Structure 1
Amino acid sequence: MSESTQKHAVTAETSNEVPTLFEWMGGREVLSLLMKTFYAKVEKDELLAPLFGRMIADHPEHVAMWMEEVLGGAPRYTDERGGFKTMIRKHRGRNIQPEQRDRWMKLMLETADEINLPRDPEFRSAFVGYLEWGSRRAERNSKPDAEPSKRETVPKWGWGEAKPGTP
């Protein structure tokens, strides 16, 4: 068991509250590091760089805010960036291709290992479950003919959850 996992396991055992995925992974500082490290790779990746070519400097922080809210942290993306509809608009018309989504996933998971996100199977299953679900919806919502999403709020992801297929 990693030091990070041990720390969280002890906290969980001594309190009756189940930590959120956001808390378990180490909170805002770790999530920010994940996104900064990941997007530095994206900028150099021949398949992904064109998709993110006009990425603003604080894009990694905006994605960290989104992920914080999704994984059980504060609703910063909703409060500061406009919530779900803003995220959908960011993907509209980008026409993300399956191979780009696959590469995005591969780099994200490599980065998660690189920065030592918890490796316990329960966390990784939930984390990867969200990344797969969310990246597939981003791909679908990026198509020029995508139907507008019926969702109004940022999805919330927890331990062992699988969301219905609503885009």
Structure 2
Amino acid sequence: MRPTLYEFAGGDPAFRALAAAHHERCLADPELNHPFSHPGQHPQHVERLAWYWAEVLGDPPRFSRECSDHSAMLRMHAGNGDMSDLGRRFVACFVQAADDAGLPADPEFRAALRSYMEWAVAEVLTYPGPPAAVPAGLAVPRWSWSGLQPL
């Protein structure tokens, strides 16, 4: 049986490294640095981001158990209007962070990661209005080698 994307990446250490590298890249980006450096950011932001991505890509539901659900993540990013350029920059930072974190260079794996992040950014951009517009109770999505999985 094929490993999950989470397992193939290298598990928790890989996702901690990915989240830290992505956060650093976003801070260094002249357009993305503002939303990533605001003072209201949760002190465990990078760790929670690692947990979220790990859960989406095949880890057990630690983010869901210890933090929140998908609705909360969408609400956190809602209400910012058209951010399509920031979305493209976010994906580019994610792709580069996979290199920085030393994730496997396997082309199929990297394509699955990129595909997930492009989908995730597109979903966030569907909520340009107030956070209250995000439906309640959305489960954290699951992504596999073949894309979005039914919940």
When the two structures are superposed, what TM-score results if normalisation uses the length of structure 2?
0.86
C-alpha distance in 1 between matches for 2:76 and 2:64: 14
Given the alignment of the two structures, is residue 63 of structure 1 paired with residue 55 of structure 2, yes or no? no
How far has the Cα of 1:96 moved from its partner? Answer: 5.4
Sequence identity (%): 29
Contact 1:84 1:153 in 2 (8 A): yes
Larger-gyration structure (1/2):
1
List, as ranges, runs of 4+ consecutive aligned residues in structure 1 with deviation greater than 4 Å: none
Q: 1:41: Cα distance to partner?
A: 2.1
Secondary structure of 1:157's aligned partner: strand
Q: Which runs of 5+ in 2 are unaligned?
A: none
Q: 1:32 aligns with which of 13, 16, 27?
A: 16
Query: Structure 1 unaligned runs (5+)?
Result: 1-16
Three-state SS of the structure 1 residue aligned to 2:126 is helix
Matches for 1:10-159 after TM superposition, within 5 Å: 17-54=1-38, 55-95=41-81, 97-141=83-127, 143-144=128-129, 147-149=133-135, 152-159=138-145
1:163 Cα offset (Å): 6.0
Deviates more, 1:155-164 or 1:58-67: 155-164
Aligned amino acid, residue 18 of structure 1: R
Q: Displacement of 1:38 after TM fit?
A: 1.4
- State the superposition RMSD in angstroms: 2.1
Q: For residue 9 of structure 1, what is the aligned residue in structure 2?
A: none
Shift of residue 94, structure 1, vs aligned partner: 3.0
Normalised by the length of structure 1, the TM-score is 0.79
1:145 CA displacement: 5.7
Which SS does the other structure have where 1:74 is aligned? Answer: coil
Q: Is the 8 A contact 1:129 1:162 kept in 2?
A: no
Q: Deviations over 1:92-112 (max 9, x none)?
A: 223351111111111111111
